Structure formats: C-alpha cells, structure tokens
Structure 1
Amino acid sequence: MNSINWTESAYADLTDLIDYFREQGEPDIGKMLVAKIHKATGTLRTFSHAGRAGLLKGTRELVIPHVPYFLVYQVQQDVVDVLRVMHTSKLWAGIIEED
C-alpha cells in the first residue's frame, strides 16, 4: 500500500478552495469538495497509477469524480506525492514548473 504525501502547494490549494467557498457564503461546499478530494486519494493508496499521464514528464493526473477538480501527482516507489489540486478550467503546466 502506498503512502500519500501532500506537498505544501497541494495543501495550500485545499486551503484556498475552503477559503474561497467560505468567502462566497458556502462553507459547506468547500468542505464537501475537500472530502471528495481526500476520498479520491484513497484510490492512489492501492493503485498509484490510476490517473492518466500528466502534461509534464513524470506527473500523473487523477480526475476527482463528479467535481471539477483533479490532482497532479508523482509516484516514487511506494509514495504518492500530491503536487497540486487544480480546477479543470486552469492551464496548470506553467504553475507546476514555477513551484
């Protein structure tokens, strides 16, 4: 079974998501989205290559079911590093390269 490591950038993405929906007066939506994102990472514990090949070499992308978000991650032996949590409307390749 793989372990999941959330990078600072990925954790900041989750925090930003929660803050955004809190500011919109919909804190429960933010909490629900984060719960779905965390649930989806459970798949990566067993099937680390469940996501599609990513835009950048060495990355993979896991689409979160029923929400407009996906994880950008890397697999190193038995560790899955979640690099970012991205909205599907964003062009993310440049964001990852800047980190």
Structure 2
Amino acid sequence: MRVKWLKGAMRDLDMEVSYLAQEDIDLARKTYSYIRDRVDLIGDFPKSGRPGRVAGTRELVLDRYPYIIPYRVKNNIVEVLRVFHTSRRLPRKWDAV
C-alpha cells in the first residue's frame, strides 16, 4: 500500500527533528531516518501497529525512539496522522490536533 503523510504528521516530524537538531544534529538525522523507515514498512504491513485509541486507527509504537505514530488505512492508502513523543499528553482525536 502507498503511505501518505498528512500535513499534521509532517509538521510533527519536522518539529521533533528541529528540536533534536538544536542539541544533536546526528541524533536528529538518525531519528528522522528511523521514523521514515519504520513508517514505510507499514505500507507493506498495515496491521503491524497496535489497535489505536481512536476508532479506525492503528498506532505504530517505536522501540528505539519514544514516539507513537497513529495511522489509518483509507481507500488502500496508509494515512499517517501524527507523530507524538511519548512524554507528551496525547489528544483524544489524532487528526483534530
């Protein structure tokens, strides 16, 4: 399946990477690459994430870095909704934030 990053997800990823880059550019690059690589895999394995907190979604929980990436499958496209650091308070609706 094709993977589509929604605007909120891209904004989240950009903000997280920018924040990390202020202290450690190498960590920022590694984090970005790891997140993108893992998200690409859900195109091949869309049910690999756990059932989401919000109906109709799933969540990719990263093991190397503390992020949760909610997504949904819509019309045979995996839509990446957001990228959240696990220390942040999570919203009730992924795509409404």
TM (norm. structure 1) is 0.87
C-alpha displacement of 1:21:
1.3
1:14-33 superposed matches below 5 A: 14-23=13-22, 25-33=23-31
Runs of 4+ in 1 over 3 A off after TM superposition: none
1:56 aligned partner: 54
CA distance in 1, matches of 2:66, 2:74: 26
Query: Size of the alignment, in residue pairs?
Result: 97
**How many percent identity over aligned positions?**
30
With over 3 angstroms needed to count, the CA separation of the structure-2 counterparts of 1:62 and 1:22, relative to structure 1, is same
1:90 and 2:88 matched: yes
C-alpha displacement of 1:98:
2.9
Match of 2:42 among 31, 44, 55: 44
Aligned residues: CA RMSD: 1.5
Gaps in structure 1 of 5+ consecutive residues:
none
TM (norm. structure 2) is 0.89
CA distance in 1, matches of 2:14, 2:95: 21
Gaps in structure 2 of 5+ consecutive residues:
none
Match of 2:73 among 54, 75, 78: 75
